[in-house]
Structure 1
């Protein structure tokens, strides 16, 4: 993977994959940053295949997704990158924390209460309110020394996860975007499981990650996430508020293991819980907490599921379902098939609406500290290159090679055939 080509807005990029021929992607979006870039492309001749690459320094992280496969690009350090396939059925589960004390009643005198947010007149679709500025939810990400040591470039991987989340939002018709306002290593000794890690992060005054709360206030972070080392079992744990209410700012935390951070949009999944998005009804039949429709969607006939859905229903039918890069949304289709069930039908699924309803409240969990002119992680489409001396090969019939033809490795790109994927996820 040629970092120079990415930095110069390469119009076309080729990626070698461990179990199939190299795929070529044409640039559709690009964002230049202080110490890197964001590059996104669509596969030539395949509208449903995407690649997104986040570059920090010389280290790239991101993914390639097709209708039937998902590949993670991870930095190995020193400008070298690896790619491996992550099979959906190799992923485990995640945990959500909705204790009884999490149920905070809405204040009848509060204009931002859940009663207002769940009005029947509010569709959760901001297309009708073009004059309203979409909210930005500020996120702070922390990591410990063990996770940093395991990663080839922890900043690259975390920024790639944020970028992926915003891409899933864009795909899904979600109005808001998240903005990474702070990234920092903390002095933390990991617990025995991700629930314990999440509680260590959430609880102030236990002497474990207490600095997170002061940092949250300093940087105005609405949500706080932490990355820990790779785990076997659960991929992550997140708070799942049972109401949409400003008082739920105390339930705005999540933890994700490093080996799952970029797999199958799992960071977007974990943050989805903070917005009260639930799993599919096969694994979580809970209704009206807080909405009738806040569930992921599974399509058994077409063998796909949305970001918040588990694979158990598919497994019970004897197969696995790929994860579409979308939150459930009955108004959109994936490869010609609806991504959710409308509210006019039984057991509706529309986490797009869930996120749209919750975002204004979550965006107010903390006062914004970052200057409003600071760039968010939303991508910007830019045609052509700004470097007259660089040929981005947009018009070439074939892309310039950046890996060897054998699919093995070159000086800065290593293909790893890992069909087992990571043994965690949600």
Structure 2
């Protein structure tokens, strides 16, 4: 009934916009992209296009190729960009997501009959890649990745309704993975923001209480990937142990208070691999790591799948080789026709962005059996352990700064009502002693007035960047003065 109402509301909204012409987000281009980029092995076709990012506005009808969509309200995303969900006219079940930062745009389009992605190609161009509608994703997680940690904790009694608590995630990437985005960190962040949005959509569509929150992204400069399927497990071990330059990931995890760490790699032997939590224990925090190929960062719900392993979810019974956190922590594949499978389940069947549960249905088919396949219940029960792997830290996010334009500087991961001060130095990175600790700012420090965190625990400051700062560096540090905790420090050169 809810899907019928959603479709009806979408039809009425589209009808009210019937006088609005649907403009094409991109046009074919004969220009050459800025760099060579490897395509997914199963790509059906690709085309170079010119994108008009100025068309990305709320409640606008757009053509994505030959598909008409209605854009939703953009949300601020990590890295100073934006992300939004769109509705495919005539198909309320389709998932259409877009992310952008300036002129660099990414999109993921998936319906029952089409699957394509838009990504940066360099030289001011983008690439549209058509993909199969049936996922060929293979996960590298097997029994060797099942972690039996000591002192298992009893399952919570109910996993009752909560209000979208967040689990903090750090996503790092290799230099080779960045090459897959033409060396553009904006393109990489777009793909990551889409993957985070997709993951949270699977939670929302299944009745999972929590959401993931991206606290930071970073390149693992100097890291060289391992090749082949065995290389996947080797890289996961190196990430987990903080070997060599990957010690940076552990430093960042502590700095940003990330409960989980994902590393994106260029190796595509698997879609991903992760440690599987089989006992619900705080001591699993040292294993809360996973790998995802950069081709799957925002495809086929692979990021959700690998994080699901970390949170205690196993594959479907026929392909798991063992249980996850509980006896019911399995994915599910329906036996009806057509056949569907949940986030954690293997083929055959059409993959859905849903988690297994007897309370979740799709096209009239139930996506789990009570006490048999309940990954929704698993996630709701393991949440309180997972979100405490690291203490939450207030996070300062500073976008690209353009002289003569306004920029939103954000502090998030605070408690609603907390008081925050933002400091700016134009002379250096300090340090300077303050009542809240050692600020990485050199005197004189330009301080904002006390700012109050909103109901989401966020502070947003709109700064009109003076033209006189063009070409100059600026150093930022903020403090949650309610808790006397400093954020991370950030440096930007004004463009």
Select which of 165, 171, 175 maps to 2:209. 175
Q: Which structure's CA Rg is the greater one?
A: 2
Select which of 139, 164, 168 maps to 1:138. 168
Deviation at 1:133, TM superposition (A): 4.3
Match of 1:416 in 2: none
Select which of 53, 58, 73 maps to 1:3. 53
Deviation at 1:357, TM superposition (A): 1.1
CA distance in 2, matches of 1:251, 1:98: 15
Secondary structure of the corresponding residue to residue 318 of structure 2: coil
* TM-score normalised to structure 1 length: 0.74
Task: For 1:100-119, list aligned pairs within 5 A.
Answer: 102-106=147-151, 114-115=153-154, 118-119=155-156
- Verify the 8 A CA contact 1:60 1:79 in the aligned structure 2: no
Query: Any gaps of 5 or more consecutive residues in structure 2?
Result: 1-24, 26-51, 397-410, 415-495
Q: Does 1:356 align with 2:380?
A: yes
Secondary structure of the corresponding residue to residue 298 of structure 1: coil
Q: Does 1:38 align with 2:88?
A: no
- Verify the 8 A CA contact 1:138 1:181 in the aligned structure 2: yes
Deviation at 1:352, TM superposition (A): 1.3
Note the alpha carbon deviations across 1:374-413, whole angstroms, 9 max, x for none: 279xxxxxxxxxxxxxxxxxxxxxxxxxxxxxxxxxxxxx
Q: Does 1:214 align with 2:263?
A: no
CA distance in 1, matches of 2:73, 2:134: 31
- Aligned residue pairs total 341
Deviation at 1:29, TM superposition (A): 4.5
Secondary structure of the corresponding residue to residue 114 of structure 1: coil
Deviation at 1:360, TM superposition (A): 1.4
Select which of 326, 329, 333 maps to 1:298. 333
- Verify the 8 A CA contact 2:142 2:320 in the aligned structure 1: no
RMSD: 2.4
Deviation at 1:367, TM superposition (A): 0.7
Specify whether residues 44 and 101 from structure 1 end up closer, same or farther in structure 2 by C-alpha distance, changes over 3 A only: closer
Deviation at 1:96, TM superposition (A): 2.0
Match of 2:274 in 1: 238
Q: Does 1:24 align with 2:68?
A: yes
Match of 1:421 in 2: none
Secondary structure of the corresponding residue to residue 63 of structure 1: strand
Task: For 1:337-356, list aligned pairs within 5 A.
Answer: 337-343=365-371, 348-356=372-380
CA distance in 2, matches of 1:135, 1:65: 27
Note the alpha carbon deviations across 1:304-345, whole angstroms, 9 max, x for none: 21111111xx2xxxxxx22111111221221222222222xx
CA distance in 2, matches of 1:230, 1:251: 21
* TM-score normalised to structure 2 length: 0.64
Q: Does 1:160 align with 2:158?
A: no
Deviation at 1:149, TM superposition (A): 1.4
Specify whether residues 67 and 337 from structure 1 end up closer, same or farther in structure 2 by C-alpha distance, changes over 3 A only: farther
Secondary structure of the corresponding residue to residue 198 of structure 1: helix
